[in-house]
Structure 1
Amino acid sequence: MSYDGVSTRAVMRSVAFLTAGALAVPLLAACGGGEDEAGKPLAVQQISPAARDLVADGGSLRWAVDDVPDTFNTFQADADAATTRVAQAVLPAMYRLDANGRPERDADYLESAKVVETEPQQVVLYRLNQQAVWSDGREIGAADFAAQWRALSGKDSAYWTARNAGYDRIEKVERGANDLEVRVTFSRPYADWQSLFSPLYPKDVMGTPDAFNEGARRKLRTTAGVFTLAEVDRKNDRIRLTRNARWWGRPAKLSEIVLTAVPRAKRAAALAAGTVDLADIDPADAARVTEAAKGTAGPRAGRPGPAANSLKAALAKASTAAREESDEYEEDGADRRARAAKKLRKAVATWEKQQQTLKGFEVRKSLEPAYTQLAMNGESGPLADERVRRAVARALDRTALAGAVLTPLGLPADPVGSHLALAGQDAYADGSGALGGQDTAESQALLADAGWVAGGPVVEKKPGEKGAGPQRESESEGGDDGTYIVGDDDKAPGAAPAGKTPSDDASAHAQDGKQYARQGGAPGAYAPKGTPAPGGAAGPLAKDGKALSLRFVVPSGPGSESLRVVADRVTRMLAKVGIRTDVTKVPDESYFKDHVASGQYDLALYSWPASAFPATDARPIYSKPVPAADGSLSVEQNYTRVGTDQVDQLFDQALSTLDADESRALLRKADSRIWAAAGSIPLYQRPQLTAAVKNLVNAGAFGFQTPVFEDMGFLKKGARVSPSPTAE
């Protein structure tokens, strides 16, 4: 899981959960049933495809990643996106994803795999490629499969594993009729058996707890991919992958791939400095690269834009530096102006040089195999009531929210219709009809049914009570849209504005003879009862003396601008039905761990990756919390704390049938019930923007597909390729 630019998938946390009564939901049928509902991906990949005979032999690809990973073991809790990228290049995988997000057999490792028995037990027979060997020359075989099963089965707590799904259903792994066959027998039927043994680690990594826990954290001695892990330079934050001399398939075109850790905020500078060839970037940097290629920004272009904004920022920085330096030397006015002019000229020259370098890059764009959702914490408070969650959902115009992020990028802005799959994948079907679309009247009716009424009296807290007293205002933007933005260290929502007590405001309002429904916003943010709110907003709602206010937590980092845009639009949509929001900006590093995973939020925006195996991978995200050994409730990865027995049962049934059509139908029915419970609302598929040097081919915005490392490379001199298809 991640929000824009920050991975959180590896964080595993058990959180105390207080169950709340849920409304009875009528039995929901699955939406449709045919595979044709999956359709095609909303956006095709853009990788500048080229035939191998057009690709030069050799060369080094410098590829920006977020970090040098703490571990190279993808089955450990702190594995991240860079861990996965290395594993894709250097380790076997029985199945990989195609451009439609569907699993396909990797013929370099697997000649065939099929279920050969179903009674009395499910048995899968793998026939391995006879040329497949580890980098030490040993054949890939049953011993490696067996070691991985034992490590990940969950039966030995000495193995510090982050996930065991599927492996815990295996009863035994055996050698088949010969060394190229592996028989896997399951104790319980398992529909997602194709998800297993991808990646596959050698037995020397999986064979003992010590080797599993520590041996593969800092290095991988034995590999079996197109590339091998040649060097891990943590001092300079880079990893070097080189051609595998024992590779039996199509040889890699590139001599090496250098994965370099570059923070998102510094990627435009790294591209401009010519130190990376390929990097995922944010929308502002993508616009700057595009403008540089077209020559449509800068002092002489006469056209404002992100690139011009970056120049403005550079000039402001240079001006500040010149002023501080002249203050240090106590220079007079003339010297100060001369120094400032020199700094500004240098900044302009540097910026123009960067733009010249950026002309050599292009932006390749698609949609990530991940979607952003609005999560609602159903643990306690107003959102513990399913009617309020449904009211929030019915207040949202999901098409408008998707358009706010994707339309400016030229990407299709269709809202996501499933929690479990994305368009193009087998399990996809639009299940949002189980909840319903945007409907202001229905949203207000749900709130009224839950007891939240406009103009209801609000009980003021007395001095000394929890929540009473002054509240420091930080980045405050109290306004008619019902929002109040506070910093990470501000006090809880409900306190009065800085410098005032509740009685101060009450006295001021009493002078007008009018009653206010207040919750502690900026002065003047709330109109007297009966005054129409601008922009069509509804009056504030209250129940049992408390105003309806939801704490909306958003990340504050430079890579999360789009989430803040969406959060702003959501607050305005909610204000129209009378729901107030306290928008709290928190640092990126604490956003997920300290707020989402620990339940310190009412509303939050974060993303889940799509999976080709949703019955396995999505179950912990939507499963009903269960009692833990210490008396608390374990939520697994269900950070909304909303779950039902019916959804759990449907997942179990989908996992236990080997009929693909039946499994798909069960998953779609589960998705309908997840929609109806309204714990999370899928909004849009995340944009994927990648800057690539123009002569780099078969690499870029991959979309669903697992990268094909052996085909990546640089065009031969004089070679030409057809333009990449558009994202739409």
Structure 2
Amino acid sequence: MSHDGVGPRAVMRSVAFLTAGVLAVPTLAACGAEDEAGKPLAAQDIAPAARGLVAEGGTLRWAVDSVPETFNTFQADADATTTRVAQAVLPSMYRLDAGGRPARNADYLESAKVVETEPKQVVLYKLNQQAVWSDGREIGAADFAAQWRALSGRDSSYWTARNAGYDRIEKIERGENDLEVRVTFSRTYADWQSLFSPLYPKDVMGTPDSFNDGARRKLKVTAGPFVVKQVDRGNARIRLTRNPRWWGRPTKLSEIALTAVKREQRAAALASGKIDLADIDTATAERIDGAAQGAAGPLTGSGGRSAAKALRSWAIAHGSDETAAEDEQYARRKLSQAMATWERQQKALRDYEVRKSLEPAYTQLALNGADGPLADERVRRAVARALDRKELVKLVLGPLGLPTVPVGSHLALSGQEAYADNSEALGGQDTQEAQALLADAGWVPGGPVKKQKKTEKAAGAEGRKADADEKDGTDPAEGGDDGTYIVGEDDKAPAETDTGQLAQDGRQSVPGHGAPGAYAPRGTAAPGGAERGALAKDGKALTLRFVLPSGPGAEPLHLVAGRIARMLDKVGIRTELTKVSDESYFKDHIASGQYDLALYSWPSSAFPATDARPIYAKPVPAADGSLSVEQNYTRVGTDQVDQLFDEAISTLDEEEERSLIRKADSRIWAAAGSIPLYQRPQLTAAKKNVVNAGAFGFQTPVYEDMGFLKKGARIPASAPAKK
């Protein structure tokens, strides 16, 4: 879990729920209907090309966030780059298709099916007879068994981050021949297709020492289309080259160079020709689109100086105040140099295009139900009913030209088998219903509202500063007020921030300031509402702590938070918007429960019965008296939701499993511990001749098909790639 996004399944998801009392939840209709899952809201955008159109050879320079601390995806400090490397160099029995659904990987697996259910579940894997490790040894039962023992949780010497599913295996045996692997489960396991993806060799999984340290800095033995040729930590680069023992379709590329480039530096890296492919923020996407259209420099349009500002600058530079004139002349020279650099970069960026899709992840509003006003389910439900989720989605995805459809499930996204819109279990935006819920909980107009000391930058104060700056032409990135702003304690309702500069989740739309985070451009206006009467109970005002990260790229998050705060203010709920450092945001606030409201994202999963269980598990008292929350950082959960997850993971009837998952999601909605908002946008800059790569959406990348378009070749319009 992260406010700036997460990688695939190897990175653990985080968040869950607690409810007080039994809820009346509408019955789900036609849970087994095929059309409930629908289609992905946005297709992948990878410039698909038939292999015959892809040139042989070449190096794809691909920007990543880091050179990972470990290449073992099952360790706690694995990251998105760990997963990317594993996808290219290690076996996966299943990978995700364009709809986010598991599909058998024929390069490794001829077949896999449940062959026995009584007395115990047995799955028989039949391996591709050509599948071998890079040292020439066949992939076989010994590798499966070593991975099971390492991840079963029975030996604490293995430093594993997760063992879900592996803890249900009783034994692994060789089948009738070396190409068959029999896996016997001690308890029925519905998500058995989630296992052994990726699969590591027994050399890595065989002993605690080799598991803990053997795959952290290097991967000696692999079995994918590529091998790890070099890990250059000094130059922050990983070189993947063709696997000479690869038996599948030959790779088109000779090499993939994964290079760590900070998000805010990617525009410059693209312009300098150092990288060919990179996930980017909205600001960089706007620059690339602007370059293609021949747009002028950074000082034109809404972000430029006004005529009055320019005239003032000229007057100072040529005035009688020598000190002021020198300073202004120096500033103008620096500005001229920056503009020249900008223009050079814009010309270079014409070689790139932006590919857009939606990530297999979504952003949600988390409500901490451990204590305070939100411990009352009625108050949580009032917060949820105050939100106009459609407006928030349009705020985020509309400017990007992506589908503006709110996420309707905690456990899957549109297109995935388990998806169904269960938001009606809670209900949509309804101001009167929200106010009625608050009144029923004892929060009524009147009571003291204590002024808060301004101690750190406030979203509201910053919003007013940004509005003023926009009027006189100042770039909001140049400064801002500090303090904690309480919505509803200002007599003036601040103006709306310009949504035209909306950024991708975690990316600021001010040129050169992009970075991972959540959604909103710089300059969040203080939420203003029609109703100024504070709600109070027992002499205490209803004020919720809304905690946000403050680092580079977090500005987009502030706009969304500001808009939410305005919505809450309309029903009488005041919000204290407080920004904290990125380093402490999760550790010191989300994980430790020091917040009332927070925005962050989590990934979807093709196996929600397995992966979502710890996120929504009911917190229980630990032996030391503390509360054990697993990954449930909202502290909201119910016995009924736990039971539905347990039943879903223990059935081999796929339709029944989907029905149980959807019922669990309906009850999670009703508990109002987490409110899904929107699927995260995915923006990728790609050199125009790069094909079969870009914004992948749900689908696992097919590394052997990536490459560069042959000179003179053209991709047929609207034609899918042919294998």
The bucket for the TM-score relative to the shorter chain is: 0.7 to 0.9
Alignment check: 8 A CA contact 2:19 2:638 kept? no
Alignment equivalent of 2:460, drawn from 448, 460, 477:
477
Question: Which secondary structure state, in structure 2, belongs to the residue aligned with residue 584 of structure 1?
Answer: strand
Q: Distance in 2 between matches of 1:120 and 1:617?
A: 26
Alignment equivalent of 1:581, drawn from 575, 578, 583:
575
Alignment equivalent of 2:448, drawn from 431, 437, 458:
458
State the TM-score, normalizing by the size of structure 2: 0.86
How far is the alpha carbon of 1:524 from its aligned partner? 4.8
Alignment of 1:393-472 (within 5 A): 393-455=384-446, 457-458=447-448, 472=455
Q: Deviations over 1:298-333 (max 9, x none)?
A: 28xx96267x79xx9xx99xx9xxx9xxxxxxx978
Q: Distance in 2 between matches of 1:159 and 1:587?
A: 33
Match of 1:374 in 2: 365
How far is the alpha carbon of 1:687 from its aligned partner? 0.3
How far is the alpha carbon of 1:8 from its aligned partner? 12
Q: Distance in 1 between matches of 2:719 and 2:286?
A: 19
Alignment check: 8 A CA contact 1:296 1:303 kept? no
How far is the alpha carbon of 1:557 from its aligned partner? 2.6
Alignment check: 8 A CA contact 2:690 2:706 kept? yes
Q: What is the total number of aligned residue pairs between the two structures?
A: 663
Alignment check: 8 A CA contact 1:267 1:279 kept? yes
- Alpha-carbon distance change, 626 to 169 in structure 1, aligned in 2, over 3 angstroms: same
Match of 2:301 in 1: 304
Alignment equivalent of 1:691, drawn from 685, 691, 694:
685
How far is the alpha carbon of 1:265 from its aligned partner? 1.1
Q: Distance in 1 between matches of 2:556 and 2:719?
A: 25
- Alpha-carbon distance change, 239 to 14 in structure 1, aligned in 2, over 3 angstroms: closer
- Alpha-carbon distance change, 61 to 118 in structure 1, aligned in 2, over 3 angstroms: same
Alignment check: 8 A CA contact 1:377 1:601 kept? yes
Alignment check: 8 A CA contact 1:31 1:429 kept? no
Match of 1:110 in 2: 109
| 2:555 equivalent to 1:557 | no
| 2:708 equivalent to 1:714 | yes
- Alpha-carbon distance change, 59 to 91 in structure 1, aligned in 2, over 3 angstroms: same
Alignment check: 8 A CA contact 2:407 2:679 kept? yes
Alignment check: 8 A CA contact 2:462 2:482 kept? no
- Alpha-carbon distance change, 339 to 209 in structure 1, aligned in 2, over 3 angstroms: same
How far is the alpha carbon of 1:266 from its aligned partner? 1.1
Q: Distance in 2 between matches of 1:719 and 1:88?
A: 29
Q: Distance in 2 between matches of 1:643 and 1:476?
A: 31
Alignment equivalent of 1:634, drawn from 628, 632, 640:
628
Which of 470-479 and 594-603 deviates more? 470-479
Alignment check: 8 A CA contact 1:5 1:264 kept? no
Alignment check: 8 A CA contact 1:479 1:522 kept? no
- Alpha-carbon distance change, 650 to 14 in structure 1, aligned in 2, over 3 angstroms: closer
Question: Which secondary structure state, in structure 1, belongs to the residue aligned with residue 245 of structure 2?
Answer: coil
Alignment of 1:181-192 (within 5 A): 181-192=180-191
Q: Distance in 1 between matches of 2:7 and 2:417?
A: 26
Which of 560-569 and 194-203 deviates more? 560-569
How far is the alpha carbon of 1:477 from its aligned partner? 3.2
Which of 436-445 and 348-357 deviates more? 348-357
- Alpha-carbon distance change, 723 to 591 in structure 1, aligned in 2, over 3 angstroms: farther
Match of 1:142 in 2: 141
Question: Which secondary structure state, in structure 2, belongs to the residue aligned with residue 22 of structure 1?
Answer: coil
Q: Distance in 2 between matches of 1:584 and 1:200?
A: 43
| 2:601 equivalent to 1:607 | yes
Alignment of 1:65-104 (within 5 A): 65-104=64-103
Q: Deviations over 1:158-190 (max 9, x none)?
A: 111110100000000000000000000000000
Q: Distance in 2 between matches of 1:445 and 1:716?
A: 65
Question: Which secondary structure state, in structure 2, belongs to the residue aligned with residue 93 of structure 1?
Answer: coil
Q: Deviations over 1:85-127 (max 9, x none)?
A: 0000000000000000000000000000000000000000000
Match of 1:3 in 2: 3
How far is the alpha carbon of 1:725 from its aligned partner? 9.0
Match of 2:228 in 1: 229
Match of 1:206 in 2: 205
Alignment check: 8 A CA contact 1:32 1:429 kept? no
Alignment of 1:500-519 (within 5 A): none
Q: Distance in 2 between matches of 1:479 and 1:32?
A: 48
Match of 1:32 in 2: 30
Alignment check: 8 A CA contact 2:617 2:641 kept? yes
Q: Distance in 2 between matches of 1:198 and 1:365?
A: 27
Question: Which secondary structure state, in structure 1, belongs to the residue aligned with residue 553 of structure 2?
Answer: helix
Alignment of 1:636-675 (within 5 A): 636-675=630-669
- Alpha-carbon distance change, 20 to 712 in structure 1, aligned in 2, over 3 angstroms: closer
Query: Where does structure 2 lack aligned partners over 5 or more consecutive residues?
Result: 465-478, 494-526
Alignment of 1:8-19 (within 5 A): none
Alignment check: 8 A CA contact 2:445 2:533 kept? yes
How far is the alpha carbon of 1:23 from its aligned partner? 2.6
Match of 2:20 in 1: 22
Question: Which secondary structure state, in structure 2, belongs to the residue aligned with residue 551 of structure 1?
Answer: strand
Question: Which secondary structure state, in structure 2, belongs to the residue aligned with residue 427 of structure 1?
Answer: coil
Q: Distance in 1 between matches of 2:260 and 2:141?
A: 36
How far is the alpha carbon of 1:605 from its aligned partner? 0.6
Q: What letter matches 2:421 in structure 1?
A: D
Q: Deviations over 1:185-244 (max 9, x none)?
A: 000000000000000000010000111111111111100001101111111111111111
| 2:185 equivalent to 1:217 | no
Q: What letter matches 1:373 in structure 2?
A: Q
Alignment check: 8 A CA contact 2:544 2:575 kept? yes
Alignment check: 8 A CA contact 1:127 1:181 kept? yes
- Alpha-carbon distance change, 143 to 534 in structure 1, aligned in 2, over 3 angstroms: closer
Looking at CA atoms only, which structure, 1 or 2, has the larger radius of gyration? 1
Question: Which secondary structure state, in structure 2, belongs to the residue aligned with residue 239 of structure 1?
Answer: strand
Q: What letter matches 1:392 in structure 2?
A: V
Q: Distance in 2 between matches of 1:53 and 1:474?
A: 56
Question: Which secondary structure state, in structure 1, belongs to the residue aligned with residue 711 of structure 2?
Answer: coil
How far is the alpha carbon of 1:35 from its aligned partner? 2.1
Q: Distance in 1 between matches of 2:369 and 2:89?
A: 42
- Alpha-carbon distance change, 569 to 71 in structure 1, aligned in 2, over 3 angstroms: same
- Alpha-carbon distance change, 360 to 652 in structure 1, aligned in 2, over 3 angstroms: same
Question: Which secondary structure state, in structure 1, belongs to the residue aligned with residue 229 of structure 2?
Answer: strand
- Alpha-carbon distance change, 724 to 360 in structure 1, aligned in 2, over 3 angstroms: farther
Q: Deviations over 1:19-41 (max 9, x none)?
A: 98703212542353112110100
How far is the alpha carbon of 1:592 from its aligned partner? 1.3
Alignment check: 8 A CA contact 1:28 1:669 kept? no
Q: Deviations over 1:622-666 (max 9, x none)?
A: 011123343322111111000000000000000000000000000
Alignment check: 8 A CA contact 1:91 1:199 kept? yes
Alignment check: 8 A CA contact 1:478 1:525 kept? no
Question: Which secondary structure state, in structure 2, belongs to the residue aligned with residue 563 of structure 1?
Answer: helix
Q: What letter matches 1:565 in structure 2?
A: L
How far is the alpha carbon of 1:285 from its aligned partner? 1.1
Q: Distance in 1 between matches of 2:91 and 2:19?
A: 47
State the TM-score, normalizing by the size of structure 1: 0.86
Q: What letter matches 1:3 in structure 2?
A: H
Alignment check: 8 A CA contact 2:373 2:379 kept? yes
Q: Distance in 1 between matches of 2:530 and 2:345?
A: 47
Alignment check: 8 A CA contact 2:8 2:603 kept? no
Q: Distance in 1 between matches of 2:19 and 2:661?
A: 25
Query: Where does structure 1 lack aligned partners over 5 or more consecutive residues?
Result: 324-330, 461-467, 482-486, 498-518, 527-532
- Let me know the Cα RMSD of the aligned residues: 3.2
Alignment check: 8 A CA contact 1:46 1:724 kept? no
Q: What letter matches 1:304 in structure 2?
A: G
- Alpha-carbon distance change, 265 to 31 in structure 1, aligned in 2, over 3 angstroms: farther
Alignment check: 8 A CA contact 1:50 1:697 kept? yes
Alignment of 1:324-403 (within 5 A): 342-403=333-394
Q: Distance in 2 between matches of 1:459 and 1:563?
A: 27
Q: Distance in 1 between matches of 2:638 and 2:416?
A: 25
